[in-house]
Structure formats: structure tokens, C-alpha cells
């Protein structure tokens, strides 16, 4: 029999079809978030871009393990479960939050603090089986400490307030960013957190610039102060990170972690490999 493992973030969803430990095929679709997308929108994407790729195997799929952004309430989990059951006709569907995916991929069956540092951010204290504590992430408007959306938001704040050095401001505008474009994308288009996080790509190209480094350190400082430090006996555990921000800025994050008295553990860009190991190894 076959099993499907899915990891869905704000940007994309990775689908892996497994037979035992063997990867049969991998498919990418857009990311899903039941807070922002309707059942019809999710169904349509699955029907058009996932089902045709795995159609020949579906009658042998026994189970789906789906981990997704926004699957933090029973209602949202139920919505995604119904979409997968309806469109793929698989009766055993397990839907969990992407934070549990991070914990399982990073820590397997060991204790640790698992964190997501991608478009957004989140973290938890995990005991090798389940999440014991979670300092809630309240999204791009209020927190996402250390995530791409916070990094982009703080950089844009400084741009609007004319705090950027002239060379950096000019380079930013040459990439197509200006007040009208930014405000239109944040206030008039969908998924503003994703747009804010896209600014971090520009910052990555200029990461050696002292001003960019200052903004990055401010964001990573806030991640350890507002998130990690609030876990019980937090300094007993390694802090593991998953996601593009955690991966590409791992050296700087390790320096900031050391300043706050923490040690960085596993750092991975995507949870899929870790989830495969988790679900196929006893």
C-alpha cells in the first residue's frame, strides 16, 4: 500500500507518495491556508495539479498525513480533511498543524525546542511525542518574530521613515519597490504576509550591509526574547530551526542564539525528509 505525506506552507505544498521507504513521486502545488482559502479553492488546486500526477496510484493509497499552515483549529483541520477525502477518495486522512511537522522532522522522538522560521514563524517545546508548550504566533500583523514577514515589515518601516542609507534605498527602488507598490500589495492584494517576506530576498542580497545586518539582528533578537525564552527551562534544550529564513541565515541566528544563552541544533530548509524518516522508521 501507498502513503502520502504533505507539508503545506504559505507559499507551496510538497506532496510525497511513498511505498514503504521508497519515494514513488513528488508533486508541488501552491500552499494552502484555510484561514485565507475556501474549500472550493483548495479542491480546485488538488483536482487540477495534484490528482492527475498520482491518479494511477490513488486506489492503493491507504493513508494521508497532511501538515499545514493554519491547521491549528479543529474547524480548519476538518475543512482540509474534507477536501482531501472528497477529491482523492482516501478515507484515512490525518491533518495536523505545520508546527507538529516541524517538531517531528527536527527532533524525531527526542526532546527539543522546534521552530519554524520561514514566511512566518512559530515554535514549540516538544517531548518526542507531542507538543507540550506553544507560545502562540499571532501572524504578520503582530508578531512572526524572526520570520520573513517581520524582517520585511521592519525594513519597509525604515524605508518609509527614510532611515535607510541612500545607497540601500536606491538599490531597493531599483528592484521595483516604492511606496505605492508596497501599499498596494499589502492592503489591496491577497496574502500580504507573503509579500512582506519577499522583501527578505532583497535583504539577503545585501546581507553584508551594516544596516541590513542591524534589522536582521533586531528580528532574531525578538525571536529569542518573545518566543524561545518563554518555554519552561528553555535553556536546557537545543533550538532546532526549519524554513528558508532559518536555513539561509543560520550563521547569524547561531550568533544571536549564543548571545541569549542558547545552542542551535538541527537546521533544515524543508521538513519532508525528516517527516519521511519519522513515518517510516519505528
Residues 75 and 141 in one domain: no
Compute the CA torsion angle 81, 129, 101, 54 (nearest 10 deg): -50
Residues 47 and 122 in one domain: no
Mean model confidence pLDDT for the chain: 94
Contact 245, 117 (CB under 8 A): yes
* Mean pLDDT, residues 240-249 taken together: 95
Looking at residue 140, what is its pLDDT?
79
Residues 195 and 130 in one domain: yes
**pLDDT confidence band for 282 (50 / 70 / 90):** low
Residue 47 lies in a domain: yes
Residues 70 and 162 in one domain: no
Residues 13 and 147 in one domain: no
**pLDDT confidence band for 199 (50 / 70 / 90):** very high
Q: 8-22, 72-86, 92-106, 205-219: which range is least confident on average?
A: 8-22
Residue 101 lies in a domain: no
The span from the CA of 118 to the CA of 145, in Å, is 10
What is the CATH number for 22?
A: 3.30.420.40
The residue to which cell 525594513 is assigned = 155
Beta bridge partners of 12: 30
Q: Give the percent of the chain with pLDDT over 70.
A: 100
Residue 278 lies in a domain: no
205: how many CB neighbours lie within 10 A of its CB?
11
Looking at residue 182, what is its pLDDT?
97
Contact 172, 202 (CB under 8 A): yes
Domain count, the chain: 2
Residue at a domain's end among 29, 60, 91? 91
Residues 117 and 245 in one domain: yes
Residues 72 and 116 in one domain: no
Beta bridge partners of 121: 117
Residue at a domain's end among 24, 57, 91? 91
Residues 87 and 114 in one domain: no
The span from the CA of 93 to the CA of 25, in Å, is 19
Q: Name the 3-class secondary structure at 262.
A: coil
The span from the CA of 193 to the CA of 277, in Å, is 31
* Mean pLDDT, residues 60-74 taken together: 93
| Model pTM score | 0.83
Looking at residue 250, what is its pLDDT?
96
Residue 38 lies in a domain: yes
Beta bridge partners of 97: 68
Residue 188 lies in a domain: yes
Host domain of residue 16: 2-91
Alpha helices, H only, 33-73: 39-45, 51-54
Q: Could you tell me what percentage of the chain is helix, strand and coil, using 3-state DSSP and rounding each to the nearest 5? A: 50, 20, 30
Q: Name the 3-class secondary structure at 22.
A: strand
Residues 85 and 12 in one domain: yes
Beta bridge partners of 26: 16
Residues 182 and 85 in one domain: no
Residue 199 lies in a domain: yes
The span from the CA of 189 to the CA of 214, in Å, is 29
* Mean pLDDT, residues 189-209 taken together: 91
Residue 102 lies in a domain: no
Residues 119 and 182 in one domain: yes
Residues 171 and 264 in one domain: yes
Residue 98 lies in a domain: no
Give the model confidence (pLDDT) of 71-119 as tens digits.
989 999 999 999 999 999 998 999 999 899 999 999 999 999 999 998 8
Looking at residue 72, what is its pLDDT?
86
Amino acid at each position: 500500500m501507498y502513503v502520502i505525506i504533505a507539508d503545506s506552507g504559505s507559499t507551496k505544498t510538497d506532496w510525497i507518495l511513498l511505498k514503504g521507504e521508497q519515494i514513488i513521486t513528488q508533486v508541488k502545488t501552491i500552499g494552502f491556508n484555510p484561514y485565507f482559502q475556501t474549500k472550493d479553492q483548495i479542491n480546485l488546486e488538488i483536482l487540477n495539479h495534484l490528482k492527475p500526477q498520482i491518479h494511477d496510484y490513488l486506489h492503493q493509497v491507504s493513508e494521508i498525513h497532511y501538515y499545514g499552515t493554519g491547521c491549528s483549529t479543529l474547524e480548519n483541520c476538518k475543512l482540509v480533511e474534507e477536501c482531501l477525502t472528497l477529491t482523492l477518495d482516501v478515507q484515512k486522512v490525518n491533518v495536523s498543524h505545520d508546527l507538529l511537522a516541524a517538531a517531528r522532522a527536527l527532533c524525531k522522538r527526542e526532546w527539543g525546542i522546534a521552530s519554524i522560521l520561514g514566511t512566518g514563524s512559530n515554535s514549540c517545546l516538544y517531548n518526542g511525542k507531542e507538543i507540550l508548550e506553544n507560545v502562540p504566533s499571532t501572524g504578520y500583523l503582530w508578531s512572526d518574530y524572526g520570520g520573513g514577514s517581520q524582517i520585511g515589515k521592519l525594513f519597509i518601516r525604515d524605508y518609509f521613515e527614510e532611515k535607510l542609507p541612500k545607497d540601500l534605498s536606491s538599490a531597493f527602488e531599483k528592484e521595483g519597490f516604492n511606496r505605492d507598490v508596497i501599499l498596494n500589495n499589502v492592503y489591496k492584494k491577497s496574502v500580504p504576509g507573503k509579500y512582506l517576506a519577499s522583501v527578505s530576498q532583497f535583504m539577503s542580497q545585501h546581507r553584508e550591509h551594516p544596516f541590513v545586518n542591524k534589522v536582521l539582528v533586531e528580528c532574531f533578537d525578538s525571536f529569542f526574547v518573545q518566543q524561545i525564552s518563554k518555554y519552561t527551562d528553555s535553556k536546557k534544550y537545543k533550538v532546532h530551526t526549519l524554513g528558508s529564513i532559518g536555513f539561509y541565515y543560520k550563521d547569524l541566528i547561531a550568533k544571536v542564539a549564543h548571545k541569549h544563552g542558547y545552542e542551535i541544533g538541527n537546521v533544515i530548509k524543508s521538513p519532508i525528509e525528516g517527516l519521511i524518516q519519522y513515518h517510516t522508521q519505528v
